[in-house]
Amino acid sequence: MRGLTPYLATYQAMQEFTSARTELTPDALWMCEHPPTFTQGLAGLDSHLLAPGEIPVVATNRGGQVTYHGPGQVVAYPLMDLKRSGYYVKEYVHRIEEAVIRCLLHFGVTGHRVAGAPGIYVRLDDPASHAVLPQRPHKDADPTPDFTGLGKIAALGIKVTRHCTYHGVALNVAMDLSPFERINPCGYQGLQTVDLSTIGVSLSWQEAADVLSQKLITYLAP
């Protein structure tokens, strides 16, 4: 657990860790919380930054568009050697999402995947509902993401270099969500962002971090 750490310093530390690692370097999992920061992915468009104001914007080399990090959000950074783990990037992403879904389930919330849009979403009208989403990933799914009735509770953005991963996933626990209104979250205009407290689940950052870290360790195992 690294706790509250500046985003830029953490980003630089991840890069340094990854560039210095060898085939013998043990994998790591950093659990963090960041001061208010907007981060842009490699393909990030400035047009998705609507009104950043006083919140700093950091350009990164992860995938995806713009997102927000702030207090009350658990950010998990798995630093893994995928070659040693024995699975590819697509499965790695699926496993991270599954860990988040299992973490939410621990707190009585059902997380969902949406076709064409990485991350985890919840039903706004019934966060505990297990009903299957029509917009879930499946063979005949519409490639254009459909967020009708959903709120995004976890965002995912990764980087893989020399088979080694960094960046990761952010789970919204109990935070000021208003900065999300100053961007198009993950590049989607009007996408609603929620946290656990908004949908009636009250818990501490540490409680959420403890459960998410254990689920990640379980589901990212070789």
Domain-by-domain residue ranges, the chain?
A: 3-219
**Mean pLDDT, range 156-171, rounded to an integer:** 97
**Mean pLDDT, range 159-188, rounded to an integer:** 96
Supply the mean pLDDT for the chain: 96
- Nearest to 36, CA basis, from 52, 56, 53: 56
According to the model, what pLDDT value does residue 208 have? 98
Predicted confidence band at 139 (pLDDT cuts at 50, 70, 90)? Answer: confident
Q: Is 103 a catalytic residue?
A: no
Structure tokens belonging to residue 85 = 């783990």
Residue 166 has pLDDT above 90, yes or no: yes
Predicted confidence band at 130 (pLDDT cuts at 50, 70, 90)? Answer: very high
Residue 6 has pLDDT above 90, yes or no: yes
According to the model, what pLDDT value does residue 95 have? 98
pLDDT digits (tens, 9 = 90+) for 51-82: 999 999 999 999 999 999 999 999 999 999 99
Report the percent of the chain where pLDDT is more than 70.
100
If you search the block for the tokens 């009104």, which residue do you land on? 51
Burial 61-71 (b: 16+ CB within 10 A, else e): ebbbbbbbbbe
According to the model, what pLDDT value does residue 122 have? 98
- Nearest to 78, CA basis, from 26, 37, 121: 26
**Residue type (1 letter), 77:** Y
The Cβ of residue 162 has, within 10 Å, a number of other Cβ atoms equal to: 10
Q: Which residues 6+ apart lie within 8 Å of 11 measured at CB?
A: 58, 60
Predicted confidence band at 140 (pLDDT cuts at 50, 70, 90)? Answer: confident
37-40 sheet: strands from edge to edge: 57-59, 37-40, 66-69
Residue 2 has pLDDT above 90, yes or no: no
State if pTM tops 0.95: yes
Active-site option among 32, 103, 164, 186:
186
Q: Which CATH architecture has domain 3-219?
A: 2-Layer Sandwich (3.30)
pLDDT digits (tens, 9 = 90+) for 12-55: 999 999 999 999 999 999 999 999 999 999 989 999 999 999 99
According to the model, what pLDDT value does residue 200 have? 96
